[in-house]
Structure 1
Amino acid sequence: MPRVMFPYGHGQLEHEFPEESFLGSLVPPLCSYVAEGTPQELVERAVRTPIGCPPLHILAQGKRHVVILVSDHTRPVPSRLILPVLLAEIRRGAPKAQITILVATGCHRATTEEELRKKLGPELAGQARVLVHDCDGPVIDCGYLPSGGRLLLNKTALEADLLVAEGFIESHFFAGFSGGRKSVLPGIADRRTVLYNHNAGFIAHPCARAGNLLGNPVHADMLYAARAARLAFICNVVLGPDRNVVYATAGDCALAHEAGCAFVHKWCSVPRVAADIVVTSNGGYPLDQNVYQAVKGLSTAQGAVKKGGVIVMLAQAADGHGGEAFLSDFVRARDLVHLEETIMRTRPEDTRPDQWQSQILLRVLRHARVIFVSALPPELVRAFHMMPASSLEEAITLAHQCVGSPLPAVAAIPDGVGTILR
């Protein structure tokens, strides 16, 4: 019988599926991709040969205050690999520049000191001032987004005379792809700007989907914000299944990002199937730290499960639910239909925190039942209108009972975050 391994927390869960009803494991070709160099070589090569702009050491010449945007604790970006390359290039062009590392948290909770030490290491933290973005902190008003929302961005970043960003690119369930311009919006944006960009109309837009930038209103606002912030240079990587860098792109925040997105689309897309049961994960730590993040993998699984089918989501969720407003939406809801209608009636300027995540989870729950395997208390899982299970085996048994078919068609998506269905 086919045995499938699913990332879960810092480890893996595995299961054997009966061949007669197994549609297959939807594994992107990236899993067999052979990188054209070591991670270090890939990053250095990308930074030395940027796309669409001069080399970083040229951009740094004459600059006095440089800010580097880095991803927060919820993203597996190998900052210890990328940052030394960026720092060396900046120092090459501006040896005496003041360099600030700004953690682009968006509206996430602040990254802790321990998380910063793990992410940066003492050698990096000692080379630059390190700040953590506060979405309710000091901002500069940059006018309006194309959609009409107010563009308010981190004051420290806007006052830099050179703004640089690191990050990684994967499919994103409503922005199309992560990376690039997302370091600015939502990364260093004011809460009001993030809320407007994540409004219900945008989330419901047919072009706001995984693997698509064309006509995507969420992406359009994000790119505009990056240009307004004068994001001059990015270095983004693509990670393989073992979290090692397999591809790197650097340069202009739009052109270099588009090159990386094209790579991801080519190597992370798989044919769509129609299954009664889909078993998936959220890619393991750090992407499965909470229920909030797990909605991303659920969104992918929705595209492979039949209407009325069952999704089994494996996400350890060691950090809990991931958002008070997100949890509150479901705890206080009279019913899910009413909650969804309330969200859809909400004006963009009145968008509430975590509303978009609730909206997408509601879309999934309207389409299929969800069994959630995690370390969470069962009552917390039920609060989100999902069925708790303490193990993958228990979840599979429950899924078969829910479907009621003697031989339901089953598909596996080992990494729901890193897979694009076409």
Structure 2
Amino acid sequence: MKISMPYGRSSITVTLPDDRPVDIIEAPAVPPAPEPLEVVRTALDCPLGGISLSTFAGAKSVGIAVSDKTRPIPHQHLLPPLLEKLEALGIPAQAITLYVAVGTHQPMTSDEFPSILPASVLDRYRVVSHDASDHDNLVFLGETSRGTPMWANKGYTHSDLKIVVGNIEPHQFAGFSGGVKSAAIGLGGMETITYNHALMTHPDAQLGAYETNPPRQDIEEIGQKIGIHFACNAVLNQSKKIVHVLTGEPRAVMQAGIPLSKQVCQVGVVSKYNLMISSPGGHPKDINIYQAQKGLAHAALVTNTGGTIILAAACPEGTGSPHYQDWMLGKSSYEDVFKQFSEEGFQIGPHKAYQIARDASQVHFMFFSDIDINLSNALLLNPITDLQSALNSALATLKPGEHVGFLPHASTTIPYLMG
């Protein structure tokens, strides 16, 4: 039996014995909207939460938060109808600025903008990349009830109309992406993001939880303080195509969009597995280790302690975090990671090392990628160079007839144990 999984911009195939049961853990196939532009226009005409863009007719400045290259957002469908709507309200193109919400990622250069935004947008509107470390372009807004200092992009925060554009999908500790998160975190200061992400160690910081999730509700508080008016969010299928679009007041968009996202991404399993093969879902979900780690985290949800997880992620851009990479050098065990992380306190970058160690320490973890093997070893990723041979070795540890789990789109799939 041959099974194929996304890997970078292509795919990779492995072979399993025909008599070995394989459970493909994939949410039901959901067809994309046949006319995505019309779906966006309809959503813009029917905003949720009692807000209308017409309230902002003639606004002197508009800030729109858009996602960076690590998110598969169909800006080519979401942005043109939104921008048309704004101009129809008497807001000229020169009053509109698109802010690339990179969070703690490296700021994008103008040369990279065509990879995320259509030419029709780049030719007509101002686009700038956020930089979480550029204090000259941040404004302080106080602290949240949980003590998170709120630093936000100054230009965006001072805009008369503040819009977020993105998608609603599972997030491993904030519950779900979408809504104000694109700006509250994507356009936040380094200190803000660090304090918020430190909440990931809270027991209620769970994948798929929203109202009871401390980091997510902290994000909502930041978004409220920034004064984000309007969200335009898509729910995407596993092929990264638009299924639904919701617009309106950000919290109302989240509350309506989360059940739709769960329909697309949740899938139950009967029991946990002793062998799980996982792919984050190909580009851009495996663009670097920083993103690909989610493929491990989601696989771990339904893998037995002591079982095996094989993660296949191309990671053409390496680790995605120099701080994480530098912090890991010299460590010889996951215990070293836990000890130093605890002693130093939460830091962005090293938190990725903690997340990997948290899950990898509970299983036999193997990592197949295009990253230099010496670097992978230094990062305690237990790299393998021959995926098929590693799989064969793992299969040899299973009992006859024991099922193998296969997560081809792990980053956007929420597996859960039924019953």
Deviation at residue 175 of structure 1 after TM alignment? 0.7
Map 1:157-236 onto structure 2 (within 5 A).
157-199=156-198, 202-236=199-233
Q: Which blocks of at least 5 consecutive residues in structure 2 are unaligned?
A: none
Q: Is the 8 A contact 2:367 2:382 kept in 1?
A: yes
Q: Deviations over 1:381-404 (max 9, x none)?
A: 212222222343133124336x47
Give the match for residue 140 of structure 1. 139
CA–CA distance in 1 between the matches of 2:108 and 2:64? 16
2:258 aligned with 1:251, yes or no? Answer: no
Helix, strand or coil for the counterpart of 1:180? coil
- Give the conservation status (yes or no) of the 8 Å contact 1:310–1:399: yes
SS at match of 1:295: helix
Q: 2:121 aligned to 119, 124, 127, which one?
A: 124
Conserved in 2, the CA contact under 8 Å of 1:106 and 1:133?
yes
Instruction: State the match for 1:24 in structure 2.
Output: 23
> Hey, what's the Cα distance between the residues in 2 that align with 1:313 and 1:389?
10
Counterpart Cα distance in 2 of 1:299 and 1:344? 20
* Corresponding pairs, count: 412
TM alignment of 1:10-409, pairs within 5 A: 10-29=9-28, 31=29, 33-35=30-32, 37-56=34-53, 58-96=54-92, 98-137=95-134, 138-199=137-198, 202-272=199-269, 273-347=271-345, 351-400=346-395, 403=397, 409=403
* Aligned match of 2:404: 410
Q: Report percent identity of matched pairs.
A: 28
Structure 1 contact 149–197 (Cα < 8 Å) conserved? yes
Contact 2:60–2:91 under 8 Å retained in 1? no
Q: Which amino acid letter does the alignment assign opposite residue 184 of structure 1?
A: A
Counterpart of 2:74, as a letter, is P
**Distance across 2 between alignment mates of 1:121 and 1:210:** 32
Q: Matched residues in 1 for 2:398 and 2:262: separation? A: 36
Distance in 1, matches of 2:150 and 2:273, equals 42
State the alpha-carbon separation in 1 of the partners of residues 38 and 25 from structure 2.
Answer: 30
SS in 1 for 2:250: coil
The one-character-per-residue Cα deviations of 1:345-389 (angstroms, maximum 9, x if unpaired) are 444xxx322132122111111111221111111112212222222
Shift of 1:408: 5.4
One-letter amino acid matched to 1:95: I
Structure 1 position 7 matched with structure 2 position 6: yes
Deviation at 1:36, TM superposition (A): 5.2
- 8 Å CA contact 1:277–1:408 kept in 2: the answer is no
Contact kept in structure 1, 2:75 and 2:116, CA below 8 Å: yes
The residue type equivalent to 2:86 in the other structure is: I
> Shift of residue 322 of structure 1?
1.2
Could you tell me which amino acid in structure 2 is paired with residue 139 of structure 1? Answer: L
| Most deviating of 264-273 and 126-135 | 264-273
The question of whether the paired residues in 2 share the 8 Å contact of 1:176 and 1:212 is answered with yes
Cα deviation, 1:13-53, whole Å, max 9, x if unaligned, reads: 22343354324110112x2x234542222212111111113
TM-score by length of 2: 0.93
Residue 420 of structure 1 corresponds to 414
In the TM superposition, what whole-angstrom CA distance separates every residue of 1:135-179 from its partner, at most 9, and x where no partner exists? 012211110012112111110011101001110111111111111
AA paired with 1:46?
A: A
TM-score, length of structure 1 as denominator length = 0.93
CA distance in 2, matches of 1:181, 1:23: 39
Which stretch has the larger CA shift, 208-217 or 284-293?
Answer: 208-217
Please identify, of 217-226 and 96-105, the stretch whose mean Cα deviation from structure 2 is larger: 96-105
Give the drift of 1:204. Answer: 2.0
Amino acid at match of 2:69: H
Return the alpha-carbon distance in structure 2 between the equivalents of residues 372 and 65 of structure 1. 47
Mapped contact 2:32–2:237 kept (Cα < 8 A): no
1:407, CA displacement in angstroms? 6.3
What letter is aligned with 1:416? A
Task: Sort the Cα spacing of 1:206 and 1:19 in 2 relative to 1 into closer, same or farther, 3 A.
Answer: farther
**SS of match in other structure, 2:411:** coil
8 Å contact from structure 2 (residues 267, 415) kept in 1: yes
* Greater mean alpha carbon deviation, residues 411-420 or residues 383-392: 383-392
CA distance in 2 between counterparts of 1:308 and 1:378 reads 24
Distance in 2 (alpha carbons) for counterparts of 1:185 and 1:391:
41
Counterparts of 2:55 and 2:351, CA distance in 1: 37
* 3-state DSSP of counterpart to 1:62: coil
What do the CA deviations read for 1:67-125 (whole angstroms, capped 9, x no partner)? 11100011110111111111111111133360001101101011133320122132111
Q: What is the Cα-based RMSD across aligned positions, in Å? A: 1.9
